[in-house]
């Protein structure tokens, strides 16, 4: 991923918010390039840290939203967000990203096995996780569809980001245990 859309709450009609269905149920909002660019602009205006920006983007989506992979890529390009080559290869395979409540799903065209910084990954075809927000960070919990290969395939189950006293860390939990890493 205090929301990115300060003052906007579920049920308010307007640009960048969820719309109420006729029977009180939230309708899924299909985001366009301008919607995503506005979320990116708002996130950047609050914080320059990449993890904080992602957190604010997840928060800003509202309760029910979908964005196609094509719209997401174009939004990043138009917002001048630098995307590493390895990440661009993954983004090229994204069909859609959807958020329902605190559940995020990334639908890929098919399962893929990219290599990131020398480490083989196995992604999808659906990557799903729950976003959890904390005062000092956020977590992606109940992760499915993400594995890394370190002699054997290891399933990533949770990634939690923290910042305390100027020190940023990420804790990654897998089917083989957990480990905390200090971030630059």
pTM of the model: 0.80
Alpha helices in 64-116 (DSSP H): 69-78, 85-91
The reported pLDDT for the residue numbered 26 is: 58
Q: What is the mean pLDDT of the chain?
A: 84
Cβ atoms of 138 and 144 within 8 Å: the answer is no
How does pLDDT run across 51-67, given as a tens digit for each residue?
Answer: 777 878 888 888 999 99
Poorest-confidence range of 2-16, 136-150, 163-177? 2-16
SS3 content of the chain, % helix, strand, coil (to 5): 25, 45, 35
pLDDT surpassing 70 at residue 17: no
The reported pLDDT for the residue numbered 114 is: 96
- The β-bridge partners of 100 are 64, 103
pLDDT surpassing 70 at residue 11: no
pLDDT surpassing 80 at residue 85: yes
The reported pLDDT for the residue numbered 134 is: 86
Tell me the average pLDDT across 14-29. 49
The reported pLDDT for the residue numbered 3 is: 30
Structure tokens at 139: 């977590």
The reported pLDDT for the residue numbered 14 is: 31
CA–CA distance, 142 with 162 (Å, rounded to integer): 18
**Domain residue spans in the chain?**
29-183
CA–CA distance, 75 with 22 (Å, rounded to integer): 30
CA–CA distance, 147 with 154 (Å, rounded to integer): 5
CA–CA distance, 67 with 50 (Å, rounded to integer): 20
């Amino acid at each position: 991923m205090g929301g990115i859309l300060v003052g906007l709450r579920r049920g308010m009609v307007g640009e960048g918010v969820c719309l109420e269905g006729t029977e009180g149920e939230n309708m899924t909002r299909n985001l366009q390039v301008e919607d995503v660019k506005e979320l990116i602009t708002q996130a950047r205006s609050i914080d320059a840290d990449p993890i904080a920006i992602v957190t604010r983007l997840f928060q800003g989506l509202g309760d029910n939203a979908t964005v196609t992979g094509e719209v997401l890529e174009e939004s990043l390009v138009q917002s001048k967000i630098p995307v590493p080559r390895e990440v661009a290869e993954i983004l090229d395979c994204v069909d859609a990203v959807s958020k329902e409540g605190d559940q995020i799903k990334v639908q890929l065209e098919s399962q893929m096995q990219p290599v990131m910084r020398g480490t083989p990954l196995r992604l999808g075809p659906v990557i799903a996780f729950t976003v959890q927000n904390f005062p000092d960070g956020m977590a992606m919990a109940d992760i499915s569809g993400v594995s890394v290969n370190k002699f054997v395939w290891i399933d990533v189950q949770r990634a939690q980001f923290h910042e305390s006293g100027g020190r940023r860390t990420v804790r990654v939990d897998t089917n083989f245990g957990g480990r905390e890493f200090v971030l630059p």
